[in-house]
Structure 1
Amino acid sequence: MKNQTSRLIKPGATIGILGGGQLGRMIALAGRAMGYRFVTMDPTADAPCGQAADRQIIASYDDVEAALQLAAVSDVISYEFENVDARVAEVLESKSYVPQGSRLLRITQNRIREKTAIQELGIPVAPFRVVASLDDLKQAVRDLGLPAVMKTATGGYDGKGQWVLRSEDELAEAYDTLQKAGTELIVEKFVPFQMELSVIAARNPDGELAVFPTAENVHLENILHLSIVPARVSDEVRARAEQIARTIVEKLDVVGLLAIEMFLTADGELYVNELAPRPHNSGHYTMEACVTSQFEQHVRAVCNLPLGATDLLSPVVMVNILGEHLEPVLERVESLPRSAKLHLYGKAESKAKRKMGHLNVLAPTVEEALDMIEKLEIWT
């Protein structure tokens, strides 16, 4: 059914972005090519998105007055990461056009609500327990077994805000450490996965839906290292992963992009691990390897344009450039493979483990792309 509140936002309009990081930057770069203007709101002066936008409002994410300034100059507002203050999003919904809404933001900001919502759709997640005390944690471990993973219900990314529990001896220390975050805690049964996969799906307010090819993801120290596309899985697994993405996006009435991260077990089962209601690191490969990039697709979706084709044009491997990789990449920039596309995010300070950019390496096969990356001797 056509969403009665949907609006067509044509090129030439101004898109407001809550958040000023690299995802916002790449949304703005894609949207500017389509003829849109951009205003971003972020507390850091000269933020990555601010460099690509027409204007940056420098303010904290919970600053309602600044958000209202953003609304006053924007025809449509989007967010580029899910830790935007939900209260601000709710205020903007009443004052401006925010097609992504605050409901999905509220769900994905809290791991308990997120996993409950996915379960209610009949889609498998790792069994979990909510814990509010050390005794709760001990009972959860008795129920779920070890190893298990304890996480803060809110906040945390790239492995922050979580603890892999391997023995009962560390329960007290783990609980004491994570409870300092002042949020609810969740314990999940450890899924002995064979591979990590992700699918990015898009939906516009009129209900049109498009799904990008499944990515195979490799993490190092809980930070995404490689995204390999096409994923080295069977057609049946690929189709099932993409159908899970379609179901979640449709049933949760998503507008914009949703990244669905999954675990694949040795016996072929798929478990949804996390959702991200925005462009995602594992979708950066789309910038050169697909007919439509995830960033252009996000603009199309929130503006209610017809969604772009998501066909894969070439096998590709995306490799993240962290702070410790930036200098070696720049030293070798003249010898990068001719099929490699370099993207740097314009961050002022390079720090170890901080995402500074990425490299998309296209090749006839993913094995050849992986070999090109290995030969650069940067990520060894």
Structure 2
Amino acid sequence: MSIKRVGVIGGGQLAWMMATAAEKLDIELVVQTPHHDDPAVAIASETIFAPVDDATATATLATRCNVVTFENEFVDLKALAPLADRGVCFRPSLQVLSPLLDKYHQRCYLQQIGLPVPKFATLEDAAPYQFPLVLKSRRHGYDGQGTFIVSDADTLQQIVASASIDTFLVEEFVPFVEELAIIAARSPNGEIVTYPVVETQQKNQVCHRVIAPAEISTEVATQIQEIAHKLLNSLQAVGIFGIELFLLSDRQVLVNEIAPRTHNSGHFTLDACECSQFEQHLRAVCDLPLGNAALRAPAAVMVNLLGYEDAENDYLVKRQQLAALPNAYVYWYDKKTSRLGRKLGHVTVLLDSTKAVEKVAQQVESIWYAQL
């Protein structure tokens, strides 16, 4: 094929945001996604309409591209294994994904390679329980779904009894002072590039803001960069990874979760960095030289535009108001329906310093959440 073609399993906003980078790099995207109105359908050179865990559809996808990558973790590794055995190039590989998709297995792997993590156990092994605790579904939990902060035994029993899943991870409740994240990429030849460490501000386990760079010491930043290097090298990973962390009051850092894909905490890179996380991911999986991850501005704040009502609305007036803010970049994922907590878009504002973050973030949120 004269043009490099990348297959993407998943057609949400993460795949959609690869479009500009793909065009820049002369790459065509072939997307496997279930719905005709999924965001990435609009930018794909070709779309295979099928669930992301449909291995038969992925076999077809693989015949139409040079390499297959992932937009989300809702995949069936066992079903994909025969394709890998037949030579389909998955990046990251199935071996890299294997210890990461189940949160309990992920914790075990991180502990095994010597990275600091909160105390954890399976639901069965954690008894007697120390409250408060954090209860997480071992698979498919994201944006607050499948994650519960539990204060007592009765609440724990109610959650487990009413849940549609039967496998949980239990972990200690960590009294962190900040939640941090780092985006890191690794190429097939072992080159690693890390982005500036950011602070993430969450509500109900959903990210509302990302502040770049995080106001942390050089020592803490170095510690986090070393964690990223150790993780990616231990995995022999290829592609971009989002690493979420807790910063404790004694400046200790614990690894919270790993996402083997582009990540919400890296959306600021689209406008605030020389090379975005989406371009970096495509560079890595296509075995191109990795790009410059440096900030193009002294600071930036990214604010997620979350659904606050059940509606069919494109919120055009609000988007125009947000776009009129100085140095603001608005991304709208073109989802047809809004519901509480759904990620509909985001806004990144470039700043002269992190001192202006709170004021600007409040300004964005006052526009977005105002009832017109």
TM over 0.5: yes
Measure, in 2, the Cα distance between the counterparts of 1:168 and 1:355: 32
Shift of 1:155: 1.6
Superposed, 1:85-96 pairs within 5 Å as 85-95=76-86, 96=88
Distance 1:328 1:39 in 2: 29
Q: Does 1:365 align with 2:353?
A: yes
Q: 1:275 to 1:207 in 2, by over 3 A?
A: same
Q: Offset at 1:163?
A: 2.2
Q: 1:260 aligns with which of 227, 243, 253?
A: 243
CA distance, structure 2, for counterparts of residue 343 and residue 198 of structure 1: 21
> Is it true that 1:124 corresponds to 2:116 in the alignment?
yes
Query: Does the Cα contact within 8 Å between 1:40 and 1:56 map onto a contact in 2?
Result: yes
**Hey, what's the Cα distance between the residues in 2 that align with 1:108 and 1:347?**
29
Q: How far 1:65 sits from its partner (Å)?
A: 2.0
Q: Equivalent residue for 1:65? A: 56
Paired letter, 2:318: E
The residue number in structure 2 matching 1:49 is 40
Question: 2:328 aligned with 1:340, yes or no?
Answer: yes
> Residues of 2 paired with 1:359 and 1:154: CA distance?
29
Give unpaired runs (5+ residues) of structure 1. 1-9
1:378 aligns to 2:361 (yes or no) = no
Q: Deviations over 1:219-276 (max 9, x none)?
A: 1121100000110111111111111111111111111011110000111110001000
CA displacement at 1:328 relative to structure 2: 5.9
Establish whether residue 330 from structure 1 lines up as the match of residue 321 from structure 2.
no
Query: Can you list the C-alpha shifts for 1:55-92, whole angstroms capped at 9, x where unaligned?
Result: 11101122222111101111111111112222343233
Q: Which residue of 2 aligns with 1:283?
A: 266
Structure 1 residue aligned with 2:305: 321
What is the deviation of 1:161?
1.2
Q: 5+ residue gaps in structure 2?
A: none
Q: 1:367 & 1:323 partners in 2: Cα distance?
A: 28
Question: How many corresponding residue pairs?
Answer: 362
Matched, 1:31 2:15: no
* TM-score calculated relative to the size of structure 2: 0.92
Q: TM-score, structure 1 length as denominator? A: 0.90
Q: Distance in 2 between matches of 1:30 and 1:330?
A: 28
Query: What is the SS of the residue equivalent to 1:82?
Result: coil
- Indicate how the Cα distance of structure 1 residues 89 and 370 shifts in structure 2: closer, same or farther if over 3 A, else same: farther
Q: How far has the Cα of 1:37 moved from its partner?
A: 0.8
SS across alignment from 1:108: coil
Q: Is the 2:53–2:74 Cα contact (8 Å) retained in structure 1?
A: no
Per-residue deviation at 1:107?
A: 1.7
Equivalent residue, structure 1, for 2:341: 353
> Structure 1 residue 338: deviation in Å?
2.6
Identical counterparts, % of pairs: 35
User: How far apart, in 1, do the equivalents of 2:351 and 2:222 lie?
Assistant: 23
Do residues 155 (structure 1) and 140 (structure 2) align?
A: yes
C-alpha deviation, 1:334, in angstroms: 4.2
Shift of 1:176: 1.5
1:16–1:38 CA contact under 8 A, matched in 2: yes
